[in-house]
């Protein structure tokens, strides 16, 4: 099993550009999550999904959108990128709502 | 969502036992306590999870008193490779979509 994979690993965006961060898991987990981590800080939940077609907001959803059309994929869309969105983005998945979360390797995004 | 408080940093030496305490005064009945470890430039990795009393696995022990308002992660005989940030999380095991709050974590530095 590859676990949780994320693409790209690194990306530089100009202010106002848009992009999609990809996340795929091959563990057949229903629950998937997107976090961001700013330097020296803990992770903040952006969006999560409890299954295909069902998503909900986390702590910091503004400026982001998600969709979940399949169990495996949970892309995160950034519209109109801003410098405040410079961060490392982690995708995670879990089998149950309170269970162990498996994290991907992260995407380092810089907006200039 | 219960908030957690843990020390910002701790120092230890190789071979010592390390205990990291986390405070979670507003823990709810359905909440589990989970600890994650994070190395630089990597996603967090699950260490241990518990609900009450004591849980032990091959890498750590988790002690939870009867009132569940705090918990202690115990790492036996740490090595240099245990240098990392450790996060204590409290989350609903049966609902809430697995929403978890990551605090700032405890940066553990193990010295030779």
pLDDT 10s digits, B86-104: 999 888 755 555 567 777 8
Task: Note down pLDDT in tens along chain A; length 112 residues.
Answer: 789 999 999 999 999 999 999 999 999 999 999 999 998 888 999 999 999 999 999 889 999 999 999 999 999 999 999 999 999 999 999 988 777 899 999 999 999 9
* Residue to substitute from A98, A100, A109, interface B, most B β-carbons within 10 A: A98
Task: Note down pLDDT in tens along chain B; length 112 residues.
Answer: 568 899 999 999 999 999 999 999 988 888 889 999 999 989 999 999 999 999 999 999 999 999 999 999 999 999 999 999 999 988 875 555 556 777 789 999 999 9
Cis peptide before A20 (omega within 30 of 0): no
Token pair listed for B57: 């696995």
Nearest residue in chain A measured CA to CA from B33: A98
A100 touches chain B (CB under 8 A): yes
Q: Which CA distances in Å does A38 have to A84, A109, B72, B91?
A: 10, 11, 26, 22
The Cα B83–Cα A109 span in angstroms is 26
How many contacts does A have with B, using Cβ atoms within 8 A?
71
- B36 contact residues in A (CB cutoff 8 A): 101
The Cα A13–Cα A31 span in angstroms is 29
User: Per residue in A9-37, is it b (16+ CB within 10 Å) or e — as a string?
Assistant: eebebeeeeebebbbbbeeebbbbbbbbb
- A48 contact residues in B (CB cutoff 8 A): 97-99
A15 touches chain B (CB under 8 A): no
β-pair partners for B32: B91
B28 touches chain A (CB under 8 A): no
From the list A98, A107, A44, A108, the residue with the least C-alpha distance to A75 is A107
The Cα B26–Cα B106 span in angstroms is 20
Find out whether B12 and B20 touch, Cβ atoms under 8 Å.
Answer: no
- B99 contact residues in A (CB cutoff 8 A): 45, 48, 58
Instruction: Flag if B102 and A102 touch (Cβ within 8 Å).
Output: no
Find out whether B19 and B73 touch, Cβ atoms under 8 Å.
Answer: yes
Position of tokens 């430039």? B41
């Amino acid at each position: 099993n590859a676990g949780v994979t994320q693409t790209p690993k690194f990306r530089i965006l100009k202010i106002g550009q848009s992009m999609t961060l990809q996340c795929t898991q091959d563990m057949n987990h229903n629950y998937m999550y997107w976090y961001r981590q700013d330097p020296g800080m803990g992770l903040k939940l952006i969006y999560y999904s409890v299954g295909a077609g069902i998503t909900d907001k986390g702590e910091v959803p503004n400026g982001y959108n998600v969709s979940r059309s399949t169990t495996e994929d949970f892309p995160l869309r950034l519209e109109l990128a801003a410098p405040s969105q410079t961060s490392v983005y982690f995708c995670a998945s879990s089998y149950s709502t309170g269970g162990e979360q498996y994290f991907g390797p992260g995407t380092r995004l810089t907006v200039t | 969502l219960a908030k957690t408080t843990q020390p910002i940093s701790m120092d230890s030496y190789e071979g010592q036992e390390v205990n990291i305490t986390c405070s979670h005064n507003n823990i709810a009945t359905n909440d589990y306590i989970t600890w994650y470890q994070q190395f630089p430039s990597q996603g967090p990795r699950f260490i241990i999870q518990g609900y009450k009393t004591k849980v032990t696995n091959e890498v750590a022990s988790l002690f939870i008193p009867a009132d569940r308002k705090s918990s202690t992660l115990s790492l036996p005989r740490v090595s240099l490779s245990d240098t990392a940030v450790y996060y204590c999380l409290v989350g609903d095991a049966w609902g809430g979509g697995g929403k978890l709050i990551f605090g700032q974590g405890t940066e553990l530095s193990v010295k030779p």
